[in-house]
Amino acid sequence: MDYMFELVKILLPAAIVFLTAYYLVKNFLEHESRKRVVDLKLANQTIITPIRLQAYERVILFLERINPNSMVMRMTKVGTAANFQGELLKTIRSEFEHNLSQQIYMSNKSWEILVRSKEETIKLVNVAATRVAPDASAMELAQAVIGVSSQLSELPTKSAIDFIKKEIGKEF
């Protein structure tokens, strides 16, 4: 019995010291792990944020380039209306394809609005093309595009740009 009492006197403090040390080491390691995760997120954010801003810049540039009025003014108006319509649509699609990779840095809502803006711009060009004869001059189609866009309360590209600017303001 005296032997058991001596054993308990030795094991009980040892168990208490062990449990205390275990608890302290466990808490320390968990704290360090959380700290590393936070540091990693901050490091990633300092890398990703400039890339995301650059993606938004490129998308805004894309929307400005496919703005019907600026696109018509920028492109040469030589040839028939049908050829010019094809060139306008080709320009919109190639500009879009050039910026496809930007969607990974944008919200889904922004990307959907961008795609909708592109589709509405294509529709605007096609509607304007129905108002002139296919063999009419490219200049007549250019005037029709400007006329159709002036009838809209807001160009699809402008509403997309406004939405993206608001999103950038919220996130950054």
Q: List pLDDT tens digits, range 18-66.
A: 999 999 999 999 999 999 999 888 887 888 889 999 999 999 999 999 9
Asked whether residue 30 is assigned to any structural domain, the reply reads no
Upper half-sphere CA count for residue 134 (Cβ side, 13 Å): 3
- Residue 156 within a domain: yes
pLDDT at residue 7 tops 90: no
Residues 109-135: what's their mean pLDDT?
96
Assess if residue 22 is contained within a domain: no
Considering the domain boundaries, does residue 92 fall inside one?
Answer: yes
Contact assessment for residue 104 and residue 50, using Cβ atoms and an 8 Å cutoff: no
Domain presence at residue 20:
no
**Per-residue pLDDT, 80:** 94
Work out the mean pLDDT of the chain and round it to a whole number.
93
Q: Are 114 and 164 in contact (CB under 8 A)?
A: yes
- Going by pLDDT thresholds of 50, 70 and 90, the confidence category of residue 98 is very high
pLDDT given at position 152: 93
Residue 7 is encoded by which pair of tokens?
A: 């054993």
Residue 121 belongs to some domain of the structure? yes
Residue 19 lies in a domain: no
pTM summary value: 0.76
Q: What is the count of structural domains for the chain?
A: 1
Sign of CA dihedral 93, 95, 101, 107: negative
Structural domain of residue 74, as residue ranges? 50-171
Whether 18 is in a domain gets the answer no
Tokens of 11: 């094991």
User: Side chain identity at 25, as an amino acid letter?
Assistant: V
